[in-house]
Amino acid sequence: MNEVLQAIRARRSVRAFRSQPVEPEKVEALLDAGRWAPSGKNTQPWRFVVVESAAKRAELAKLVPQRDMVATAPVTLAVLLDRQAGYDELKDAQAIGACAQNILLAAQALGLGGCWIGRARDRAVEALLGAREGEELMMLIPIGYPAEEPPPRERRPLAELVRRI
Ligand SMILES: Cc1cc2nc3c(=O)[nH]c(=O)nc-3n(C[C@H](O)[C@H](O)[C@H](O)COP(=O)(O)O)c2cc1C
């Protein structure tokens, strides 16, 4: 199967990580994949905060519901939406979604795992991240070498989802 299609099919949300650090060049590759996502009018409204110091990771873990996931991930990427760079609430959010999926697929391609955490969108977390005026946290993505191999979660058959006209 084509490598991209294979990565799409093999990707899982990974919520448990080995302690092995993630190489800085791999973190860079994930961020680079994120910035190559499409965005309406090419506004590129994403901003990234890389949470990698032990102190900040521990502080962040205390503020999120899925504490262990963030505490054990060697690095967590925060994806913020810069409202001043964007132009349309819905389209900006769609662009950020494309950015996050690029990051997750790049992680899969590099032997890493990650999980999209939406339940962390909170003022206290934004303050810890040093979010700037007009920036809004959209998701956290803890990243690391997987310590679990989650089975695929069910997908609805195409026949249920698709109409042809
Ligand atoms: C918008 C969005 C928000 C999500 N928020 C969370 C979350 O807060 N915590 C979590 O563990 N997983 C979260 N996930 C991951 C989903 O639970 C996961 O993608 C889904 O169950 C399918 O599993 P898979 O990614 O392994 O295919 C989120 C995914 C998306 C797209």
Q: Whose CA is nearest to atom 6 of ligand 1?
A: 117
State in words which class domain 3-147 has.
alpha beta
Instruction: With beta carbons less than 8 A apart as the criterion, state whether 81 and 46 touch.
Output: yes
Ordered by start, the domain boundaries in the chain are: 3-147
Q: Where are the alpha helices (DSSP H) in 36-119?
A: 54-63, 67-72, 89-109
Place of tokens 């199967």: 1
| Separation between Cα atoms, residue 159 and residue 24, nearest integer Å | 43
| Separation between Cα atoms, residue 2 and residue 48, nearest integer Å | 30
Mutate to test the pocket of ligand 1, among 11, 12, 13, 70 (most ligand atoms within 8 A of CB): 13
Give me the pLDDT at residue 121, please: 82
CA-to-CA dists, residue 133 to 82, 83, 108, 136, angstroms:
9, 9, 33, 9
Q: Whose CA is nearest to atom 13 of ligand 1?
A: 117
Centre of ligand 1 from the C-alpha of residue 62, in Å: 20
Within 6 A (CB) of ligand 1 lie 12-13, 15, 66, 115-119, 150, 153
Centre of ligand 1 from the C-alpha of residue 87, in Å: 26
Instruction: Read off the DSSP letter of residue 138.
Output: E
pTM score = 0.98
Mutate to test the pocket of ligand 1, among 117, 121, 138, 143 (most ligand atoms within 8 A of CB): 117
Q: pLDDT 10s per residue in the chain (165 long)?
A: 899 999 999 999 999 999 999 999 999 999 999 999 999 999 999 999 999 999 999 999 999 999 999 999 999 999 999 999 999 999 999 999 999 999 999 999 999 999 999 988 889 999 999 999 999 999 999 999 999 999 999 999 999 999 999
